[in-house]
Structure 1
Amino acid sequence: MALYTNTVTVKGFLGKDAESFPTRTQKTFVVLSLATKSGYKDQQKNEWVNHTEWHRIVAFGKPADYARSLKKGDYVEVEGELHSTQYEKEVGQGKNKVKVAFRDKEIRASIVKKLAEPAKNENLDAEPITEDDAA
């Protein structure tokens, strides 16, 4: 039994077509923009409140070969590890420049699967993803 695990599984819709990029060693990696939605019913207003979360997915090797053909709107499941990167960036102009620390999060995919479209009534708390939602 592992003492520590870093495994994440997300299911959602792609906000844009898969993007392929070469590495310095001429291997390819693929970046996906995956939207997941969650929601709850506001008891006071008696209406659904939705929240869309965007995930940056990076795939190498065989998962990248499969993910390369995915298109905007595809319903996919991704399993992998959560990685975060911290970097500093100068913000402002002239004497007002300040270094600010940023943190990016991404999921390094080990498995990418295209799923069948969910039934219309399967997720009643989510609205369809629109062009304005795309990351």
Structure 2
Amino acid sequence: MALYENKITLKGFLGKDAENFATKQQKTFTVLSLATKSGYKDKQTEQWVNHTEWHRIVTFGKSADHAKNLKKGDYVEIEGELRSTEFDAEVGEGKKKTTFKRRGWEIRASLVKKLAQPESSRGENLDAEPVTEDDAA
């Protein structure tokens, strides 16, 4: 048993086509925008409340080669680790400009699998919210 483990598995739908890039050393990587959904029933209103979470997925090497042809709407499973990056962001203009630290999160995928569409999503999904490309991470 490992003392520390950073492992994440996600299943969801892609919000846009895979984006392929190359580093300065000509190593390729692929970025995916993955949507996962969760929901709960509000006890007061008895209404079903859906929540969509967007994940930025970055993959290198063989998994990037496999992921590069994925398209918007594909159902995929991702395995990898959660990574954070810290960067400076600026807000305001002129003398009111302020710099502060921001933290971004992404998943470094070691495995990307395209799955068959689940039975429940093949027809009309009545509780699904419409998703636009602007929503994709």
Post-superposition CA distance 1:15-61 (Å, at most 9, x none): 00000000111111000000000000112212110001000000000
Root mean square deviation of aligned Cα: 1.9
Q: Provide the TM-score with structure 2 as the length reference.
A: 0.90
How do 1:51-70 residues align onto structure 2 when only pairs under 5 Å count? 51-70=51-70
Aligned-residue offset at 1:131: 2.0
- Describe the shift of the 1:56–1:92 C-alpha distance in structure 2 as closer, same or farther (beyond 3 A): same
C-alpha separation in 2, matches of 1:128 and 1:47? 14
C-alpha separation in 1, matches of 2:103 and 2:20? 23
The residue number in structure 2 matching 1:108 is 108
C-alpha separation in 2, matches of 1:129 and 1:61? 33
SS of aligned partner of 1:66: helix
Matched, 1:134 2:136: yes
Question: How many residue pairs were aligned?
Answer: 134
Alignment gaps of 5+ in structure 1: none
Q: Provide the TM-score with structure 1 as the length reference.
A: 0.91
C-alpha separation in 1, matches of 2:18 and 2:129? 19
What amino acid maps onto 1:134 in structure 2?
A: A
Alignment gaps of 5+ in structure 2: none
SS of aligned partner of 1:120: helix
The residue number in structure 1 matching 2:85 is 85
Post-superposition CA distance 1:55-110 (Å, at most 9, x none): 00000000000000100000000000100001112211111111111110000000
